[in-house]
Amino acid sequence: MHQPYKNYMKAIFFYLLFFLPFHSFSQQTLDAIFKKRKVTGVQILVIKDNKPGTYYYGKPKADEAGKVDGATVFQAASLSKAILAYIVLKMVDRNLISLDEPLYHYFAYDRIKSDTAAQKITARMVLHHETGFPNWATNPTSKQWFTSALKTKFIPGSGWSYSGEGFMFLQYAVESILKQSLEKIATREVFVPLNMPSSSFLWRPSFTNTGAYGHDKNGEVTGRNEPFLPAAAYSLLTTAADYNNFLQALVTGNGLSAVSHKLLFTDTVSVKKNNATVSEPASHISWGLGVGIQRNELGTAAWHWGDNGDFKCFFMAFPGQNNSIVYFTNSKNGLDAVPDVLTYYFGKNTWWALQWLDKDF
């Protein structure tokens, strides 16, 4: 037998002996996490030490035979907000919008016409979640939302309070400036240049076959959102692979000036609520221009979570370390598994962001 062939066969033997059992064990370990937490379907793209890996689990729809794979489209929920933040910073770099000009000067929002304080809200306040708006004045998917009065709860710029309403105001200002819909803007500024072919703020006919359905805590099918209007706060439909392309651009600053990129992660505000004692988790969390900032044993991470009820998702990235994860689920129980998933991939650390979500948010 020729020596090169013998070496080749030896390499195959060691691959089968060592790699496949380990891979199988890894798959089983993650499978057990999601089975225990009753998560219906999962899609993960992780980068560890600059090496990408994927993981899929479960079904897009519990009562059908299909399996989640790389083409399954999930609701990104509030991970949508980071897309708008990126677009706004690109506009800042082109002098198309100012972070500190009242948005009302760009778009006279009818829902705040009786609130003079709200008319002073800026893009920076929106991205920092300092608008003073509630998360939602009423259900944003209802017809009533479009005409409901929107009022501030406190003076804009004086404190942190998470708000989807703020991102919708910012979206309308951006659309008014560029005279295009968010979908067209995002396609031109994000989806095409960052290679995100399966991403959209609107429902596409192709999603009929690839779109996942939501599931309640018992694993029962609840349906799926098929948005016909783009909503920067919650309507993004995408895959883990697509969103990872965006996340890497966000982390490296691809498409942004050095100044704007720095603002994402260093110009931060405390998540302490007005007149509240700072909890231990909150002391490790702050907010940049559109993303959360966590500091733990591994260093500083950018992160965000998404919650559309029966779709839960999450991302975390450590700038400069080549470590990140994009995590999508079609389950109300989806976020319950995240601490175990992060520990599985990155080791046992204190995941302050998740503790904060559980205790303070």
Neighbouring CB atoms inside 10 A of 131's CB total: 30
- For residue 297, the SS3 value is coil
Dihedral angle over CA of 126, 83, 266, 307, nearest 10: 70
Neighbouring CB atoms inside 10 A of 144's CB total: 10
Out of 12-21, 80-89, 116-125, 204-213, which region has the weakest mean confidence (pLDDT)? 12-21
Confidence at residue 221, expressed as pLDDT on a 0 to 100 scale = 98
Out of 3-12, 151-160, 254-263, 309-318, which region has the weakest mean confidence (pLDDT)? 3-12
Mean pLDDT of 212-232: 96
For residues 296 and 352, the answer to whether their CB atoms sit within 8 Å is yes
CA distances 302 to 94, 165, 286, 315, Å, are: 25, 22, 10, 8
Mean pLDDT (the chain) is 91
pLDDT at 105 over 90: yes
pLDDT over 70 for what percent of the chain? 92
Mean pLDDT of 332-348: 96
Confidence at residue 220, expressed as pLDDT on a 0 to 100 scale = 97
Evaluate if pTM is beyond 0.85.
yes
Confidence at residue 267, expressed as pLDDT on a 0 to 100 scale = 65
Confidence at residue 27, expressed as pLDDT on a 0 to 100 scale = 84
Neighbouring CB atoms inside 10 A of 4's CB total: 8
pLDDT over 90 for what percent of the chain? 84
Select the more confidently predicted residue: 94 or 276: 94
Select the more confidently predicted residue: 12 or 323: 323
Confidence at residue 276, expressed as pLDDT on a 0 to 100 scale = 66
Instruction: Say yes or no: domain 39-359 is CATH 1.10.490.10.
Output: no
pLDDT band at 360 (very low <50, low <70, confident <90, very high): confident
